[in-house]
Structure 1
Amino acid sequence: MTETHTWSYDGTELAWLQAALERPGQREGHVVGELVPGGFDAYLRVFHRFDASDGSGRTRSWRERAEAAGRPFHAEMSHGPLLQDADGPDADVRWLADSGQPDVGTRRALARCLGRVTGEQPVLFAYDLAALLWGAPEPLVRRSSLAGLDSSRPFVAAEVGLDAEYEEITGPEFWWPEDRSWVVTSDYDLLSTYVGCSAEAAALILADDGIEALPVTPGTRVDLAADDANSR
C-alpha cells in the first residue's frame, strides 16, 4: 500500500503566517496579500538586481534597465521587457535576476535595516516549498539571529540530505522576528521580495542605497499580467 502524507502547517511555526495570507482567487490575478500577511503599516517590493549574462560581472537595477528599455518604472512592472536591449552595444546581452532570493548585497542591506528596528530578538527563517519538494515531513524553520540569515540555506540542505551548494535551494522563503513586527517573503517563482513592516522600517529600507524598493499594498499584483504599462 502506498503511504500518502498530507502537508500541514498545524503545530508548526508557519501556521500563523499561512492562516493570515489571502487565498488565491480572492482578487484579480495574484497579489501581495498572498505572500505577506495583512495588518502592517507599510508594504514594499524589493527588487532583485539584474546580472549581465556575458560574464562581465556587471549589475543593473530595475530602474536602470527600465530607463535603457524606455519603459516606466513602477510597482507592478514585469521583468520581461527588461531582459534585453533592442539595440546598442548591449543588444546581445541578456540581463537575469535570481528568483526565490534577493542578491547578496540586497539581502544583507535588508537585514541591516530590519535589524535596526528588531534589536536582538530571535528571527525565524522558514522553508515551505523546499521542504515539501525534498521530502521533509513538515515546513523547516530555523530560529536564529538576523546574522543567521545566510546560514539558513545550508541548514535546509542538511535537513533534506542535499549538498549545501545545491543550486535549487534558495531562500529562506519567509523570515520574521519573534514579535512578528515584520515579514519578508521571497517566493521561489518571483524576481522580487515582498516585505510587510512598520512605517519606521519601511523608511529605513527605502532610504538605503543598497536596496531598490517601491511601496506597494496588499492588493498590488505580482503576476506577469499585471504590468499594463509595459505590455503595450
Structure 2
Amino acid sequence: MTSEWKREEVLRDARLAEWVDPLLSAANSGTVGSLVPDGYERYLRVLHPAEKTADDVVVESFQWADVARINGKIAHAEMQWTRISEKYPDLDRGLWNEGPHRIDFLQPEVTDEIAHLLGGDSNPRCVFAFWEGNTAFDEITSEFPKASIGRFNYYLTAGDVGRASQTLEGIRPNMWWPIDRSWYVCSNFDLDSTYIGADSARSDEIIVSRSLEAWPTRRSHRITICGDRFN
C-alpha cells in the first residue's frame, strides 16, 4: 500500500459527495452540524493531542482533559485549547511544547485508529475529500472536478478505509465516509479536533479507545472559541 495517493486516482466525477451539503447546517453557524451531516445516531469529537517533542520526535502526548486539570480549567465537550492552556506552557511547566495539530500535521496514528474502529473487519471502500485551498494542488486545479461541501471545494479520491491517513500532494483528507454513508468523519483544515457521525456501537468503541480522547457531542455544539462556556 502506498503512502501517497497518485494523481490519477483523483476522481473525475464529484457526484459521490452531492448528498453531503443538503444535510449540513449553515456554514456560518459555527456548529458541529456545519461539519457533519444530519441523520446519525451519535456525534463525537476527537481531540487532537498536545505533544512534548525533542528533535522533532514525539516524546509524550497529552490529552486536553489533563491539560485542563493542570491549569485549573474545566474539561467538557466544547472546551477550546486556547481557553484551557496557558499562553506559554512549554516555558512555564516543561510538559508540552506543541499545541494540538491540525489534520496535516497530526500524528497519523490518530487517524489510523479512527479508521480501524469505524471500518472494523469489513475494510469498506470510502470517499476521501481534500480541500482545494492549498498551493500543493495548483498543478491539478484545471484537471479535475471539485465537490462543493459547505463553503469550500474539494478534490475526491476513493479507496479502502485504511488509506485515511494517506496524503494527496502531501495533504491529508479533510472528510471521509464509506460508500454506504453509515458514518462520516470531518477533520476541518482549520481545526484541532476531528468530528464524527456514527451509530452507537461504533461510537462506543471510539469513546473507550485508550488511543483517543473522544467526547460525545451534538450537532448544535459550537466549534469556535465562544463555545467554551465554562473556561
- Fold similarity call, TM over 0.5: yes
Q: Is the contact between residue 82 and residue 95 of structure 1 (CA under 8 Å) also seen in structure 2?
A: no
Counterpart residue number, 1:201 = 202
- Specify which structure has the higher proportion of strand: 2
**Alpha-carbon distance in 2 for matches of 1:21, 1:196:** 12
Q: Unpaired runs of 5+ in structure 2?
A: 1-12, 147-153
Q: CA RMSD in A?
A: 2.5
Taking a change above 3 Å as real, the CA distance of residues 71 and 148 of structure 1, as seen in their structure-2 partners, is same
TM-score (norm 2): 0.78
1:47-196 alignment runs, 5 A limit: 47-52=47-52, 55=55, 57-80=59-82, 81-83=84-86, 84-85=88-89, 89-90=93-94, 94-100=97-103, 102-116=106-120, 119-130=122-133, 134-135=137-138, 136-137=141-142, 138=146, 139-151=154-166, 153=167, 156-157=168-169, 164=170, 169=171, 171-196=172-197
> Which sits farther off after the overlay, 205-214 or 136-145?
136-145
Shift of 1:12: 3.0
- State the Cα deviation string for residues 206-228 of structure 1 (Å, max 9, x = none): 11111110000100100011112
CA distance in 2, matches of 1:95, 1:111: 24
Task: Give the 3 Å change call, closer, same or farther, for CA 214–123 of structure 1 in structure 2.
Answer: same
Q: Distance in 2 between matches of 1:87 and 1:200?
A: 42
Residue number in structure 1 paired with 2:39: 39
Q: TM-score of the superposition, structure 1-length normalised? A: 0.78
Tell me the percent identity.
25
CA contact (8 A) 2:90 2:97 kept: no
Segments of structure 1 that go 5 or more residues without pairing to the other structure are 1-9, 158-163
* Distance in structure 1 (CA, Å) of the matches to 2:133 and 2:93: 39
